[in-house]
Amino acid sequence: MAKARTAYVCSQCGSEHSKWQGQCADCGAWNTLGAFVVEPAQTPAARRGSYAGAAAGAPRITPLASVALAQEARTSIGIGELDRVLGGGLVEGSVVLVGGDPGIGKSTLLLQMLGALGTRLSSLYVSGEESLAQVAARAQRLGLALDPLRGLAETCIERILEHAAAERPRVLVVDSIQTIWTELLTAAPGSVSQVRESAARLTRYAKETGSGVFLVGHVTKEGGIAGPRVLEHMVDAVLYFEGEAGSRFRVLRAFKNRFGAVNELGVFAMSDKGLREVPNPSAIFLSAHSEPTPGSAVMVTREGTRPLLVEVQALVDASPLANPRRVALGLEQNRLAMLLAVLHRHGGAAVYDQDVFVNVVGGIRVQETAADLPVLLAVLSSFRNRALPDKTIAFGEVGLSGEIRPVPNGEERLKEAATHGFVRAIVPRANAPKKGRIGNLEVIAVDRLGDALAAG
């Protein structure tokens, strides 16, 4: 029989190499290869043997029409914001990876989830980080009914799967995947190969048994989930927990979801009784200014399927440095550099000798290009030390030639702004309502950056 061989797997791109190298030949990253044991390939004879068993329950070709309806059995968890991010509830046999900074509330949320499921779905909470006493104490503090909750303090995947096979939980939580290891490998727990293999075993378990599996993942300094990128490809959904240190609010974002919209947001507030849902989150990402302040602009973002009012703040200040600083919190850094170049070229404001800091209030991350225009309005407002008119919102993508491009769902964003008492909106021309008014919102439709800045 062929022996198991060792392969070296890149933690960035997941590609396999037969020898260890300092640099991954596929993606060019340095020091990312880790050892990994590969099961021996089956011999052709053995393979033919397994095909011979096709009649007895092995996979076979099936018309999709006959499977489509049976699939996607969803269970509502009973925590509305979590159901929303999952795309409408927990799907049978799905694997969900939950990432986020330490202490943001991953363990708390998943424990609350099991509590909310209660006796409706049997569950098992596998803790590799905390003792069961700690988990139980937390469950008690969260006010959960303890009876239906079962815990297991274990980190060896073989033993976890043994217990799971005996207990047959419908929902399995593994906290965290970085602590889990397999006997097949000699690498330390948390290493790329251990994480990849353990996650693969748990994924297989989910698909075979139809149980929902939740994996908690640690986040690296760069903000990705620690371990191989393939982890994100393996699972059905990747949820990121975001939030500002010191802020009560936590945002759960679907970064990938095979069963729902990506970028869907769920908003929670951390309280002494755990995470509470914030079902109408629009107003929490606005800071409470009593009067208009320079450097602040309000935008309507639409991440996922609901619009949100979000404040963007900028501070522009003369820089003592040869290379002035450009700092973007909650936005992409490169996008900011590009926008500042467009501002100079097409808006006539030169900030090359200024430090520019931009921050999205509330620790939320805005990824859509609709933030371009509000960012530039905030930057210019701070640069000129002149506040934008009161009760004004803006959104729109800014192109390299200074044109303002439309963004999806313009009307829905305007309605959200009107509902929250805003009276002016600076928006791309194609996003202005074709007929009629939205509330008492005065819509200023703009084509070029120059027009938009003049309106602000």
- Does residue 202 contact residue 216 with C-beta atoms inside 8 Å? no
The contact mask relative to ligand TYD for 191-220 (x = CB under 6 A, - = no) is ------------------------------
- Which residue from 107, 194, 203, 382 is in contact with Mg ion, where contact means CB under 5 A? 107
Mark the segment that binds ligand TYD (CB under 6 A) among 105-113, 190-198, 254-262, 445-453.
105-113
C-beta of 181: minimal distance to Mg ion in Å? 18
**From residue 268, how far is each of 81, 301, 401, 452 by CA, in Å?**
8, 18, 40, 34
Q: Which stretch binds Mg ion (CB under 5 A): 106-114, 267-275, 315-323, 341-349?
A: 106-114
Helix (H, G, I), strand (E, B), or coil: what is residue 369?
helix
Please pick, from the candidates 28, 40, 49, 103, the single residue that binds ligand TYD as defined by CB under 6 A: 103
Residue in 449, 318, 455 with CA at minimum distance from that of residue 373:
449
302 binds, among Mg ion, ligand TYD, none (CB under 5 to 8 A by kind): none
SS3 308: strand
C-beta of 259: minimal distance to Mg ion in Å? 25
Give the total of residues touching Mg ion (CB under 5 A): 1
Rounded to 10 deg, the angle between the 192-209 and 157-167 helix axes is: 10
92 vs 71, 75, 199, 260, CA distance in Å?
A: 8, 8, 17, 14
Does the footprint of ligand TYD cover residue 100 (CB under 6 A)?
yes
**Binding residues for ligand TYD restricted to 224-253, rule: CB under 6 A:** none
Q: Which of residues 127-156 bind ligand TYD (CB under 6 A)?
A: 138, 141-142
d(CA 52, CA 41): 18
Distance of closest approach, residue 105 Cβ to Mg ion, in angstroms: 8
Single residue of 104, 124, 180, 226 touching ligand TYD by CB under 6 A: 104
User: What residues contact 86, with CB distance under 8 A and at least 6 apart?
Assistant: 77, 96, 237, 239, 254, 257, 259, 260
- Determine which helix (DSSP H) or strand (DSSP E) holds 435, and give its type and residue range: none
Nearer to ligand TYD, 77 or 310 (CB): 77
Q: Which of 12, 15, 32, 108 touches ligand TYD (CB under 6 A)?
A: 108
Q: Which does 389 bind (CB under 5 to 8 A by kind): Mg ion, ligand TYD, none?
A: none
CB of 209 to Mg ion, least distance (A): 25
Q: Which is nearer to ligand TYD, 246 or 320 (CB)?
A: 246
The closest of 368, 378, 356, 349 to 410, measured between CA atoms, is 368
Omega before residue 176 within 30° of 0, cis: yes
Binding to ligand TYD (CB under 6 A) within 57-96 occurs at: none
User: 367 in helix, strand or coil?
Assistant: coil
Count of chain residues binding ligand TYD (CB under 6 A): 15
Cβ distance to ligand TYD smaller for residue 105 or 363: 105
Amino acid sitting at position 274: G
Query: Is the Cβ of residue 139 or residue 316 nearer to ligand TYD in the bound state?
Result: 139
Q: Is 390 left (phi over 0), alpha (psi -120 to 50) or beta?
A: beta
For residue 364, the partner it binds in ligand TYD, Mg ion, none, with Cβ less than 5 to 8 A by kind, is: none
Alpha carbons within 13 angstroms on the beta-carbon side of residue 121 total: 28
Q: What are residue 306's DSSP bridge partners?
A: 303
**DSSP, residue by residue, 115-180:** HHHTTTS-EEEEESSS-HHHHHHHHHHTT--STT--EEE--BHHHHHHHHHHH--SEEEEE-GGG-
Q: 107 or 381, CB closer to Mg ion? A: 107
Q: Which does 102 bind (CB under 5 to 8 A by kind): ligand TYD, Mg ion, none?
A: ligand TYD
Site for ligand TYD in 266-295 (CB under 6 A): 270, 272-274
Q: Which does 155 bind (CB under 5 to 8 A by kind): ligand TYD, Mg ion, none?
A: none
Binding at 270: pick from Mg ion, ligand TYD, none (beta carbon under 5-8 Å per type): ligand TYD
Chain residues binding Mg ion by CB under 5 A are: 107
**Residues within the interface to ligand TYD (CB under 6 A):** 100, 102-108, 138, 141-142, 270, 272-274
